[in-house]
Amino acid sequence: MTNEKGEILARVEESRGFQEIYDYRGGQKYQHRLDRRREQASFDYSSRSHLFQKVYYANGLTAKDELALRTAFHSLNNSHETQAYLTKAALFVGFWPLAYKVSQKVRPASVFVMAVGYYYAYKNLIVPFGTQRLQDNLNNVAKPFAEKYGVTIA
């Protein structure tokens, strides 16, 4: 399929990944409504917080632009996963000396409380921070494409 300029359109809704997320039972494909489901996915996202997703599911996305967005996603996702792995390793290694020092000064129950607080800080501070950084980087990649596909940045 091409647009009026003769550019090949990206059929994001026909990809296996899209169907596994948005049509896991296969009903939309059977009823030939995958394009409508792609539009719904686009409308579900806010351009202020999820510009990348909004542009990726926009009407008229060309195959060339989809490839550029997908390549940027894979690059940023790989760096995000590497950073997350290194953060986990650093926190794991750093926990033991901290636990040893704390255990010399307080009772075992307090060490347990410290360990729970350490885990809570990881899950509720560090992981969301990394995820937000990934989304911000993805949104920065999508900004040049937003105007082209009529996605307004709120």
pLDDT band, very low/low/confident/very high, at 1 (cuts 50, 70, 90)? confident
The predicted pLDDT at position 41 comes to: 84
Task: Record the tokens describing residue 105, joined without a space.
Answer: 């000064």
- Find residue 2's DSSP bridge partners: 8
Write the pLDDT tens digit of every residue in 73-123.
999 999 999 999 999 999 999 999 999 999 999 999 999 999 999 999 999
Write the pLDDT tens digit of every residue in 10-24.
888 887 888 887 778
The predicted pLDDT at position 130 comes to: 97
Rg (CA), the chain: 22
* Prediction pTM value: 0.84
pLDDT band, very low/low/confident/very high, at 126 (cuts 50, 70, 90)? very high
The amino acid at residue 83 is Q
The predicted pLDDT at position 89 comes to: 97
Whole-number Cα distances in Å, 82 to 68, 70, 91, 123: 21, 18, 14, 17
DSSP-derived 3-state class of residue 16: helix
Tally of CA atoms within 13 A in the half-sphere of 132 that contains its CB: 7
